[in-house]
Amino acid sequence: MRKILFLCAVLSIAAVIMIGLFVFVEGYPIMHKVGFFNFIFGKVWSPSEGLYGIFPMIVGTFSITLGALVLGVPLSIFTAIFLAEYAPKKFERLINPAIELLAGIPSVIYGLFGMTMIVPVIREIQKLYFGRGASQMQSGYSILAAAIILSIMICPTVISVTRDALKSVENELKAGSLALGATQWQTTRHIVLPKAKSGIIAAVVLGMGRAIGETMAVIMVAGNRVGFPESIFSPVRSLTGNIAIEMAYAAAGDHSQALFGTGIVLFIVIMAINAFALRIYGKGVNVK
């Protein structure tokens, strides 16, 4: 059994390494050709003219992700606190399957919901905000629409991991706090949340990874316009959306390599996020 388990672990690592090498081998030539910094910080994406700058899509990706975190993380953490510390058992058994169901809904369904329910509402808000002019700004497909959809999509992950972190806090600590006269909220705020800090940060990072890596729902509601956003109502294109939209008709050569180069950037971003999370998690574990 030890050898079988070791083999499974090695296969998992090998799969990640092979995927990473494949993407790097395919995407490196275009970075070498146009220059790494020109590729990353270039402001124009026009494959027909030989211009491959993905900086607008990097900005679009992080704008959508930041919006999703701002909207989704507080709601998820407060929900997890309620489920872990305050909810009756019967109510918790009712809510948990609903949260798990949210995690199992295909992303295309979220995209359809966003197109039919959220985008029209944002379109009406845009008309009030911008007036009757600037029709491009009245489509409803925007950073805000994508952020709302992604905030819903990351909730199950953040709620589940945060709830487990809160429940892992020793009951003796909570009982001691209550015995000294603290209220349940004071105990939660000053005892439970600090002890579960590393787990909560891990939940937020996992939610961030889900938001950065999401493709279909973002394509359906973000507008997919290559450019720098002027406001939360601006349409944008994400890195993952750029790959999904153009890979089908990208001819072999620079265009295809540029899309693989976009995948390299995504790899680097995810590795940086994981490294940051591990550092914060280590600090949280060492807190006395």
Q: Which domains does the chain have, with CATH numbers?
A: 25-35+42-286 (1.10.3720.10)
Mean pLDDT, rounded, for 122-126: 85
Residue 67's pLDDT is what? 93
SS (H, E, C) the chain: CHHHHHHHHHHHHHHHHHHHHHHHHHHHHHHHHHCHHHHHHCCCEEHHHCEECCHHHHHHHHHHHHHHHHHHHHHHHHHHHHHHHHCCHHHHHHHHHHHHHHHHCCHHHHHHHHHHHHHHHHHHHHHHHHCCCCHHHHCCCCHHHHHHHHHHHHHHHHHHHHHHHHHCCCHHHHHHHHHCCCCHHHHHHHHHHHHCHHHHHHHHHHHHHHHHHCCHHHHHHCECCCCCCCCCCCCECCHHHHHHHHCCCCCCCHHHHHHHHHHHHHHHHHHHHHHHHHHHHHHHHHCC
Tokens of 230: 């002027």
Mean residue pLDDT across the chain: 86
Summarised one tens digit per residue, pLDDT across range 190-212 is 889 988 888 888 889 888 888 88
In this structure, of 66-70, 160-164, 246-250, 259-263, the range with the lowest mean pLDDT score is 246-250
Give the number of C-alpha atoms closer than 13 A to the C-alpha of residue 100, restricted to the C-beta side: 6
Mean pLDDT of 36-51: 87
First to last CA, the chain: 37
Please state the rounded mean pLDDT for residues 69-94: 90
Question: Would you say residue 283 has pLDDT above 60?
Answer: no
Position 282 scores a pLDDT of 59
| CA–CA dist 251, 190 (Å, integer) | 58
pLDDT of the residue at 5: 93
pLDDT of residue 131: 62
